[in-house]
Amino acid sequence: MTDTPTQANTTRPHGVPDLTIAHAITPFHLGDVPVRGRLICLGPLADAILTRHDELPDPVKALGGQALSLVAAMATALKFTGSFSLQIKGDGPVSLFLADCTDKGELRFTARMAEEYATPLPDDAPGLLGKGYLAFTVDQGPDTDRYQGIVGLEGKDLAEMAGHYFKNSEQHECNIHLFSRKTDLGWQSGALILERLPDSSPIAENDDKPRPDATIDDLWETACTFAQTLKADELFNPNLPATTLINRLFGTLDVTSSAARPLSFGCRCSRARLQTVLARFNEDDLNHMAKDGVISMECHFCNTSFDFPREELSTAQPQDNTPDI
């Protein structure tokens, strides 16, 4: 018998909350400017994900909250099936940093600390990550080519680092504001993202001709200025609906909100999937991996441990055909 609870045989391991926030993302468009935006508030989902990583220092979890909001915003702006991920590797105290979101809004996060680092830790992204690179990846499964864009880490925070990527690698202007903080009620995370749409021009009232480019530039700057006024207390106010907040920020720019979209805790580990991975090893490798007759595997996204009795693996017939996590 294994000590792993029977719930771990299902898609969601035992202890991982089955939590969905129905109105986590509110998309909107600005009619006076060629801009689309998303307002993101993870609600209790932020605390549910980040507190699975109590081994990580709070500054790293705060950065993780920002990353979760960022990938949620970007993934839900794309038409694809699969996952959108942010991966950072650097020479700072945080050696590996990863967050991703599926097309269904399923979020997960993990980070790995360097073997040695000085304390106290810095609380800014450049200090935590050091020098390295940032990669955004769209993965639509084994039958399609992955799309990946990579850029060096540049900027005073994660928002600037991501903005630098989109401006220089995608030639796509984004105005990104990321929020993450720890409170007495737990972790809170959210974001406000504006994207300038290059293939659209606003139309002046009673005029069928596009406005001059200079005017479009001015309106884009105005929208960005309005976005900068957003405060964390407003974003995380449970009594302030997202549509009300969006109208408060951009009401003078003919803002239209779309239907809200959900986000959920989306770790994709399972006992069956990990058993499938172990089935690829030969008998000698399995013997080497076993300790006191048990092979233990841990998912670093949800920090769930799975124990497999060695004798069961010799005759195991894995049933899970899903791709590796």
Mean pLDDT by 10 residues, the chain (325 residues): 36 65 96 91 96 95 98 90 94 96 95 93 96 94 86 96 88 92 97 83 46 72 96 97 97 94 86 80 87 84 83 59 46
Query: Are 100 and 174 part of one and the same domain?
Result: yes
Is the separation of the CB atoms in 186 and 51 below 8 Å? yes
| DSSP β-ladder status, 106-113 and 261-265 | parallel
Residue 271, judged by CB atoms within 10 A of its CB (0-12, 13-18, 19+), counts as buried
Query: Are 306 and 161 part of one and the same domain?
Result: no
The amino acid that residue 59 corresponds to is: P
Which residues on adjacent β-strands are paired with residue 237? Answer: none
Residue 318 resides in a domain: no
Query: Are 122 and 216 part of one and the same domain?
Result: yes
Q: Say how far apart CA 320 and CA 304 lie, in whole Å.
A: 18
Q: Say how far apart CA 43 and CA 250 lie, in whole Å.
A: 23
Cis peptide before 120 (omega within 30 of 0): yes
pLDDT of residue 206: 43
Query: Are 109 and 157 part of one and the same domain?
Result: yes
* HEC-encoded secondary structure of the chain: CCCCCHHHHCCCCCCCCCCEEEEEEEEEEECCCCEEEEEEECCHHHHHHHHHHCCCCHHHHHHHHHHHHHHHHHHCCCCCCCEEEEEEEECCCEEEEEEEEECCCEEEEEEEECCCCCCCCCCCHHHHHCCEEEEEEEECCCCCCCEEEEEECCCCCHHHHHHHHHHHHCCCCEEEEEEEEEECCEEEEEEEEEEECCCCCCECCCCCCECCHHHHHHHHHHHHHHHHCCCHHHHCCCCCCHHHHHHHHHHHHCEEECCCEEEEECCCCCHHHHHHHHCCCCHHHHHHHCECCEEEEEECCCCEEEEEEHHHHCCCCCCCCCCCC
Query: Are 228 and 282 part of one and the same domain?
Result: no
Residue 314, judged by CB atoms within 10 A of its CB (0-12, 13-18, 19+), counts as exposed
Residue 5 resides in a domain: no
Residue 185 resides in a domain: yes
Query: Are 86 and 145 part of one and the same domain?
Result: yes
Query: Are 182 and 126 part of one and the same domain?
Result: yes
Domain that holds residue 298: 270-313
Query: Are 290 and 142 part of one and the same domain?
Result: no
Which residues on adjacent β-strands are paired with residue 185? Answer: none
Residue 123 belongs to domain with CATH number: 3.55.30.10
Query: Are 102 and 231 part of one and the same domain?
Result: yes
pLDDT of residue 16: 62
Domain count, the chain: 2
Is the separation of the CB atoms in 129 and 89 below 8 Å? no
| DSSP β-ladder status, 35-41 and 261-265 | unpaired
pLDDT of residue 228: 97
Query: Are 296 and 243 part of one and the same domain?
Result: no
Residues in the chain: 325
Q: What are phi and psi of 135, to 5 degrees?
A: -130, 135
Of 22, 21, 101, 20, give the one whose Cα is nearest residue 259.
22
Is the separation of the CB atoms in 181 and 62 below 8 Å? yes
Query: Are 36 and 154 part of one and the same domain?
Result: yes
Structure tokens at 177: 């504001």
Query: Are 28 and 123 part of one and the same domain?
Result: yes
Which of residues 247, 265, 283 is at a domain's end? 265
